[in-house]
Structure 1
Amino acid sequence: MRIQLLPPQLINQIAAGEVVERPSSIVKELVENCFDAGANQIVIEIEQGGTRLIKIRDNGCGIEKDDLSLALSRHATSKIASLHDLEQVVSMGFRGEALPSISSVARLTLISRVANVDCAWRVSADGSERDFNPQPDPHPQGTTVDVRDLFYNTPARRKFLKTEKTEFAHIETVVQRLALSRFDTGLTLLHNQKEILTLKPAVTDVQQEQRIAGICGSAFIDNAVKIDFEASGLRLSGWVGLPTFSRSQQDMQFFYVNGRLIRDKLVSHAIKQAYQDVLFQGRHSVFVLYLTLDPALIDVNAHPAKTEVRFREGRLVHDFLFSALHRSLANIRPGKTTAATYAAPEFKPTSDSGNRQLPSTQPSYRFLRPPQQATLPLHVSEDRQAYRQLPSAFVSDTQPVQQPQAEQEHPPLGYALAHIHAVFILAETKTGVILVDAHAAHERVTYERLKQQYGEGVVPSQPLLLPIKLNVRSVEADLVEQHSEFFTSLGFELNRSGPEAIILRSIPALLGQHDVDTLIRDVLADMVEHGTSQRIQEQSNHILSTIACHSAVRAHRRLTIAEMNALLRDMERTERSGQCNHGRPTWVELSAQDLDKFFLRGQ
């Protein structure tokens, strides 16, 4: 066949294959257009899971009459005009593909009105980009996009749609994710004339937390810490879940870059590394996080659905995210305040499950929740120098650590009363009682001290009797040559011996008989992919964790009151003391109010 131009409608249908995967894709594109129009109220009406009707109305700036036909034409947009604009996009949409693509696979009507005009104007489109005939309409200021009979002219694609219930579930998920990106915008979602979701604009911190609780559940807010970090032109804010509040799936992870929800391997890697030392195996962290940076530092034109971005300085972003989250998790300790907003850490970029109810036979007892760690007020203690100077009574002797007078009155974890079953410490606090797993708590305290000692000293190196030659890719051999000081600082003597060969002569003494061949290869692979690697640190931490586990106080060893109090004070000064080395909680709290309810006091 001869080469020929494709008709516009077919071109738009091909483009629709990238933009319109299912009804929820249309909702995402259209709601993002509402955001760009400056709307603060958006109403989304859905019928039959979006296959019969998707109608989205906003009170934004509207579209001029003469621009309506352009809005329904490919690659026509008001959001960019040059390559310079594309390199620093601040709007959600910018390609000019959504409306013509949607109109090529559905019956689309566009109604819009700008301020200070007599009436709105309505046009219909079929993806052919012709025969537009604007008609007057009484529509108020703003825009309505009416999409009916999705895939009516492409029946093969319609067959791939799921049930009405499934398709609407995808729409509801998209709306919730969008709602978390714009707190200042109210959203209403209806399905088959039934109101499903109503969210008012959230301006204050309390209103924002209420919106998050309405979408993620109240248990998320009850078990999350608000953070706010800023350094090197980057800002990370939002809410991160406590390590003890995790999920089996990655279904409660929301990460926004300049207001855009994205999925990114670099971001996921940084967050996973920040949680790796405190999260129980097989569990996933929960978070709602917002990264703000100069739009010129990201490329949002990386995916047709705009769900991926490229960072122009990926190493900087990775190190910043890891540092911010790592410090926020490390600084969660028993304290005195109920709200925790963390200040920016010292950051130096490198040079290159809900509240379950207890089973009960009497309905009157169902209000009692299980003891939880998260209910204890939290704060950040930065007095690390004082921590280093204080002796560990629990490790060195049985004398209690002397505390300042104010802390002696009401220490966060209280004072020990008994060692229950020679396993759990029972302590009384100002607001209730605390139960501590002595072995798990001492394991974390010991582990953190070992890590500190290992990190502050010179890493002892052990020469190999026979050097190991490794065949690697040339790019990996280049990294060894370029970052020799990095490997030396970690106790490795690693040199390049050829275009695709390296020689390992010494290893950290801590690694012993571990498979250093595989470790080196994995580290180099990480450095190629992410520009950095945590594998050596992870391997060292794993060994330190094992040492701490075997040296921690064993279960069923009876502790004295002095030993128990010393451990409680150590926990209050130790980073990540809420979890043991394996991610399990080290303590839980039962408040005085919970005890009153349990015994029906005051009723």
Structure 2
Amino acid sequence: MAIRQLSPETVNRIAAGEVIERPASVVKELVENAIDSGATHIEIVVTDGGLSLIRVTDDGSGMNADDLALAVERHATSKLDEEDLFDIRSLGFRGEALPSIGSIAELEIRSRRRDSEQGFSIRVMRGAKESIKPAAANSGTIVEVRDLFSATPARLKFLKSERAETMAVTDVVRRLAMAHPEIGFTLQTGEKRPVVYPRGERSSSAWLERLGAIMGHEFMADALEISGGGSGALGPMRVFGFIGLPTLHRADSMQQFLFVNGRSVKDKLLIGAIRAAYGDLIPRGRSPLLAIFLDVAPPDVDVNVHPAKAEVRFRDAGRVRSLMIGAMRQALEAAGHRASAQGGVLTIETFSAGVLPSAPPALPPQTAAFAEPAPVAFAEIDTPSADMRAPEPERHEQTIDKPLGAVRAQVHENYIVAQTRDGLVIVDQHAAHERLVYEKFKVALTNGGVATQGLLIPAIVTLDPDDAELLCTRADELAELGLVLESFGEGAVAVRETPALLGDTDIDGLVKDLAAELRADGTARALKDRLEAVASRMACHGSVRSGRRLTVEEMNALLRQMEATPYSGQCNHGRPTYVALKLSDIERLFGRR
């Protein structure tokens, strides 16, 4: 077949196939154009998932007749400065969106410049452009797209249900609204009540309020603000935004939003930085909630990688990663012992859902209203869980104002109940102490090694021969953590020193657990990561065990250590170490409010 030049209509439809994957792609391109025009409010109307109608109305700068005629031509744009593709300072810049949409649908644009009294309109009917006409219009632009993909009906077969397409449109608008709190957004889909995001300011409080409206109030309650700056290869870099506490996480990453220069992206480098920053603070397979905004000098980032502009490439990826990790870790460390407020909320909801009776049980008829209760006989085993002699008044007043309050009881030999000035706290003693020991391990590793305690008689641990060999090959790494061992024949190791942090520990159980950890870990991870994983396993053996009774002094000391230790709000496995209940919620639970 002879080589021939494709027609402009065919070229536009090919371009549309690259840029317009589904109705949500149209919405994204049109709303980005509205943002670039300087709009302060944008209204989006969608019917039938966007196939029947997409209308985007803005109060931006608008266009005159000449601009309008060029806007529907391929590769016509006002957003490139001297055609430098590495100096992109706007969301749209290719000049392909409008002609691509017009080639596969019915497109009508009405616009009026802010400094003009006359508006104009133009229509493009499946690739056929009509002439410019005068039109009544407010300042700004209205773009209507009808019968999307009517010129390429084969594409309709690959679309999802109306509900799925509508959800995709909603997600696009949410992401753009998150990046621009200074713009008001209204989204109308079908017959449903419109979603409105009021216009705010580009301030931290307004940004968090916009994020809370989209990500939920639980995120607002548990969000940590991050901020950091640095220098890229060709200009400054800045990261800011909000990340959730480690105890606020989900099974998927749907609540992770990443932006580069105001553009929503999916970038492996940034996702890797998130994982590195949170590290062992969240369980494996779980994802923290966050919204992070990265501003990079335009020459330092290539946004021209993908036709839909969903991917980016950084000139100095290492600096970007370091900036991200540093800002997140600083915020997480500053949060100290803080844990998710959701723990207390869920506790209250669990009680109110039916654990407590809706009304107190009626007294038996023969019981007098003021009759004294019958004496309760305690069995010999019914002794208090801890020494609960009341502390001195002055000491009580000092500790009750601490973040985790003053100890009141130990329940089931594992849960510490403490009173704060405005509520109470329930602490899992094993999980909390496990984190404390683990953090001490990490500090010791950073400072050159873990102090050891020698055993008078080496402990001989019998293992599977492969596990024994594996431990011996990692003996140098284990020695850094204070565990000194050597081979003791086939299928056994002799332990000569143990970490001093662990005290009197179950050496047999510790060694077997470490063998299982190393076997599952493999060799792909860096030495530091492997050491911290092993340290976490050791910390579990060195922590206060469930079922151990503690004195009031021991429990209060544990709470004070938690308050002074970063990340103590969650254990080594990402679970919360305590739950805080507000007095107002407890009173509401009992009908006092």
Residues 450-491 of structure 1, C-alpha deviations (whole Å, 9 max, x = no match): 11001111699xxxxx9xxxxxxxxxxxxxxxxxxxx9xx99
Distance of aligned partners of 1:430 and 1:355 in 2 relative to their CA distance in 1, 3 Å threshold: closer
1:386-405 to structure 2, matched below 5 A, reads: none
* Greater mean deviation of Cα atoms: 110-119 or 304-313: 110-119
Residues 45-94 of structure 1, C-alpha deviations (whole Å, 9 max, x = no match): 111111011011111011221122211111111101435x3212110011
Distance of aligned partners of 1:515 and 1:590 in 2 relative to their CA distance in 1, 3 Å threshold: closer
How far residue 356 of structure 1 moved from its aligned partner, in angstroms, is: 8.2
1:43 corresponding residue in structure 2: 43
Write the distance in 2 (CA, Å) between the matches of 1:236 and 1:411.
33
2:153 corresponding residue in structure 1: 155
C-alpha contact (below 8 Å) 1:219/1:354 kept by paired residues: no
- Report the TM-score when normalising by structure 2: 0.77
1:541 corresponding residue in structure 2: 532
1:160-309 to structure 2, matched below 5 A, reads: 160-192=158-190, 194-203=192-201, 205-232=204-231, 233-309=236-312
Write the distance in 2 (CA, Å) between the matches of 1:448 and 1:363.
37
Distance of aligned partners of 1:147 and 1:314 in 2 relative to their CA distance in 1, 3 Å threshold: same
Report the structure number with the largest CA radius of gyration: 2
Residues 234-290 of structure 1, C-alpha deviations (whole Å, 9 max, x = no match): 322111111111111111111111111111000000001111211023211110111
2:506 corresponding residue in structure 1: none
How far residue 191 of structure 1 moved from its aligned partner, in angstroms, is: 2.1
C-alpha contact (below 8 Å) 2:337/2:566 kept by paired residues: no
Q: How many residues align?
A: 495
C-alpha contact (below 8 Å) 2:441/2:450 kept by paired residues: no
Of the candidates 349, 358, 363, which is equivalent to residue 357 of structure 1? Answer: 349
Amino acid corresponding to residue 283 of structure 1 in structure 2: R
The answer to whether 1:416 aligns with 2:419 is no
1:52-67 to structure 2, matched below 5 A, reads: 52-67=52-67
Write the distance in 2 (CA, Å) between the matches of 1:458 and 1:358.
45
Write the distance in 2 (CA, Å) between the matches of 1:151 and 1:355.
50
1:554 corresponding residue in structure 2: 545
C-alpha contact (below 8 Å) 1:44/1:188 kept by paired residues: yes
Distance of aligned partners of 1:142 and 1:331 in 2 relative to their CA distance in 1, 3 Å threshold: same
2:93 corresponding residue in structure 1: 94
Distance of aligned partners of 1:574 and 1:30 in 2 relative to their CA distance in 1, 3 Å threshold: same
Any stretches of 5+ residues in structure 1 without a counterpart? 339-352, 367-399, 461-465, 467-486, 492-508, 524-534
Write the distance in 2 (CA, Å) between the matches of 1:356 and 1:12.
58
Distance of aligned partners of 1:365 and 1:9 in 2 relative to their CA distance in 1, 3 Å threshold: farther
Amino acid corresponding to residue 426 of structure 1 in structure 2: V
Distance of aligned partners of 1:136 and 1:360 in 2 relative to their CA distance in 1, 3 Å threshold: same
How far residue 131 of structure 1 moved from its aligned partner, in angstroms, is: 4.7
Amino acid corresponding to residue 542 of structure 1 in structure 2: A
C-alpha contact (below 8 Å) 2:399/2:405 kept by paired residues: no
Residues 93-142 of structure 1, C-alpha deviations (whole Å, 9 max, x = no match): 111111111111111111111122231111111464x6541000001111
The answer to whether 1:4 aligns with 2:7 is no
1:564-583 to structure 2, matched below 5 A, reads: 564-583=555-574
Write the distance in 1 (CA, Å) between the matches of 2:553 and 2:265.
51
* Greater mean deviation of Cα atoms: 177-186 or 110-119: 110-119
Amino acid corresponding to residue 234 of structure 1 in structure 2: M
How far residue 330 of structure 1 moved from its aligned partner, in angstroms, is: 2.3
Write the distance in 1 (CA, Å) between the matches of 2:252 and 2:3.
49
C-alpha contact (below 8 Å) 1:69/1:132 kept by paired residues: no
Q: CA RMSD in A?
A: 3.2
How far residue 554 of structure 1 moved from its aligned partner, in angstroms, is: 0.7
Write the distance in 2 (CA, Å) between the matches of 1:355 and 1:46.
40
Distance of aligned partners of 1:187 and 1:576 in 2 relative to their CA distance in 1, 3 Å threshold: same
Of the candidates 141, 144, 162, which is equivalent to residue 143 of structure 1? Answer: 141
Amino acid corresponding to residue 587 of structure 1 in structure 2: Y
Write the distance in 1 (CA, Å) between the matches of 2:585 and 2:516.
49
SS in 2 for 1:55: strand
* Greater mean deviation of Cα atoms: 4-13 or 356-365: 356-365
C-alpha contact (below 8 Å) 2:122/2:132 kept by paired residues: yes
How far residue 210 of structure 1 moved from its aligned partner, in angstroms, is: 3.0
How far residue 516 of structure 1 moved from its aligned partner, in angstroms, is: 9.0
Aligned sequence identity (%): 40
1:47-126 to structure 2, matched below 5 A, reads: 47-83=47-83, 85-126=84-125
- Report the TM-score when normalising by structure 1: 0.76
Write the distance in 2 (CA, Å) between the matches of 1:517 and 1:162.
44
Write the distance in 1 (CA, Å) between the matches of 2:520 and 2:548.
40
How far residue 30 of structure 1 moved from its aligned partner, in angstroms, is: 0.4
How far residue 520 of structure 1 moved from its aligned partner, in angstroms, is: 9.2
1:596 corresponding residue in structure 2: 587
Write the distance in 1 (CA, Å) between the matches of 2:2 and 2:326.
58
Amino acid corresponding to residue 522 of structure 1 in structure 2: A
Of the candidates 328, 332, 340, which is equivalent to residue 331 of structure 2? Answer: 328
Write the distance in 2 (CA, Å) between the matches of 1:362 and 1:538.
44
